[in-house]
Structure 1
Amino acid sequence: MSESIQSTGGTGGTGSAVVADAASDADLLAQTAIAVEAAGSVLRERFGGVVRHRTREELMRALAANDEAALDVLRPRLTFLRPGARWVEEELDGGALPAGEWWVVDPAEGNVNHLHGLPDWAVTATLVRENQPVLTAVHLPLTGETYTALAGGGAHLDGRPLHVSETTDLGLGLVATSQARPDEDEAVTRRIGASITAMLLDALVVRTSVPATLHLLNVAAGRIDAFWQFAGARADLLPGALLVSEAGGRISDAEGRPWTTQSESLLAAAPGVHTDAVATLSR
């Protein structure tokens, strides 16, 4: 995004055109949720024991097979909903998008966990309009939960409103981080390690795992007080960033500056611990 993520903190606006657009986007979000749930059913049927692989090539083929199975469901449904919207083809891409509407989709967020028989994976779809996330739907097939957020319309879990935690003491906080990709630059990897050490000194408990989206869901739901990540892609940060923002959380980079998809880090936190988290990550 060329602009920082914004939360209007309400439902609707002024003028009949704004109200009509909000109603249209709300309907679109409902259909998007149905689409990610359908794709999730396909991945759930493919889930089981560990998928063995002896080489990097075998692993990549298994990852691609999961992606393709989910995309076979997602692409026609989302294209039908928004025929003029373009698709981000590479889920690891970052940076600003060209003008217009884009579907930013991760058909198997946490794909490597799926292949290892671990439960931490999801299906996500986010509509971006003029470089601002408009709506997002995230489905967790193994629990049946669907998280949704609409810009200006709040964040919800299966229709129930979400709100970030009221924690005001980072020393009592449960925080989390993730790595953006396996082959991360060495400087970023060392920065991740240093940040974990800093948080271990300042926070109560630190969780480290992939994928980022599942941690961000927990921040939005008030279960985790802060999440940070260095580097990252649109697909693994935009859904959770919108959810946290609409749930009343604060989104910035690790230094406290406005976050965009061009930022080198992301911090999503409850308002009461955001300042202290920035101080810890900036040491």
Structure 2
Amino acid sequence: MSATLQTPDTALSDADLLDRTAAAVREAGSALRERFGEVVRYESREELMGALAANDDTALGILRPRLTALRPDAGWVEDELDGGALPSGEWWVVDPAEGNVNHLHALPEWAVTATLVRDNQPVLTVVHLPLTGETYTALAGAGAYLDGRPLHVSRTADLALGIVATSQARPDEDEEVVRRVGSSITAMLFDALVVRVAVPATLHLTNVAAGRTDAFWQFAGARADLLPGALLVTEAGGRITDTEGRPWTPQSAGFLAAAPGVHAAAVATLTR
């Protein structure tokens, strides 16, 4: 650990804090990349959970001390599947292996994320993709970037020409939510050009922020898989609401991130 990270510095600007957070997230990503390659076999739910925990622990062993050193008074969200509002003050919302199950299956769609939340508003976020080396960053009020290049959502104004995406929020989802997900996919298959369905949510949201896809929606969900992308999309010029077009909060039952030109049409599709 470097001396600058060992010494707490509450006077750091948010921009400097973002840079140091990005360095920690990249280091954690490198550790996970070393574990990536072969499909991890498991024969029971217990073995699966153990393999997932091993990846989490590898990344957290780097992230937790480094981020705590940066903000020693900030809280730490222990469970990346938690949702709802946080108490006031600063909190680290971290997903040490976003798309962890993909990592175990030697699939490339996984990342490491860290977001600082201040009084329930995301202040900064880092999303690092270790296999490509790409790092997405956003600072509230200062834009969203991919490796220093500014991001902008798409200019698509017709949902029928748009690529949209959704994701499964968590395993063992409530039956009502599962049925709602299925019906929404069917509706979007009629109204959008292409519908993509995969985990994790964060990678879909980086695509919306980068203008590669036009909208992403999800029912239910956790802070750790929505907050990073929500800040990225907002800072890239997109709209974040619930699936009925109302302001989104971590307590909302649905989530929609979209380019402004297709947002209203996406809400209409998801609510009919």
TM range (shorter): over 0.9
Aligned to 1:40: 29
Listed as ranges, the matches of 1:68-217 within 5 Å are 68-217=57-206
Aligned to 1:273: 262
CA distance in 2, matches of 1:23, 1:266: 32
Amino acid of the residue matched to residue 130 of structure 1?
D
After the TM superposition, list the runs of 4 or more consecutive aligned residues in structure 1 that deviate by more than 3 angstroms: none
SS for the counterpart of 1:207 is strand
Q: TM-score, normalised by structure 2?
A: 0.96
Which ranges in structure 2 are unaligned for 5 or more consecutive residues? 1-9
- Shift of the alpha carbon at 1:22? 11
CA distance in 2, matches of 1:227, 1:22: 36
Name which structure has the greater RCO, CA cutoff 8 Å, separation 6+. 1
Structure 2 residue 47 is the aligned partner of structure 1 residue 58: yes
SS for the counterpart of 1:89 is coil
> What per-residue deviation string (whole Å, max 9, x for no partner) do you get for residues 157-178 of structure 1?
0000000000000000000000
CA distance in 1, matches of 2:102, 2:48: 12
- Shift of the alpha carbon at 1:23? 7.6
- Shift of the alpha carbon at 1:182? 1.0
Alpha carbon RMSD of aligned pairs, Å? 1.1
> What per-residue deviation string (whole Å, max 9, x for no partner) do you get for residues 35-75 of structure 1?
10000000000001110000000000000000000000000
> What per-residue deviation string (whole Å, max 9, x for no partner) do you get for residues 244-276 of structure 1?
000000000000000000000100000000000
Aligned to 2:236: 247
SS for the counterpart of 1:58 is helix
CA distance in 2, matches of 1:22, 1:122: 29
Which ranges in structure 1 are unaligned for 5 or more consecutive residues? 1-20
CA distance in 2, matches of 1:102, 1:259: 19
- Shift of the alpha carbon at 1:210? 0.1
Q: TM-score, normalised by structure 1?
A: 0.92
SS for the counterpart of 1:95 is coil
CA distance in 2, matches of 1:22, 1:65: 34
Report how many aligned residue pairs link the two structures.
Answer: 263
CA distance in 2, matches of 1:31, 1:159: 15
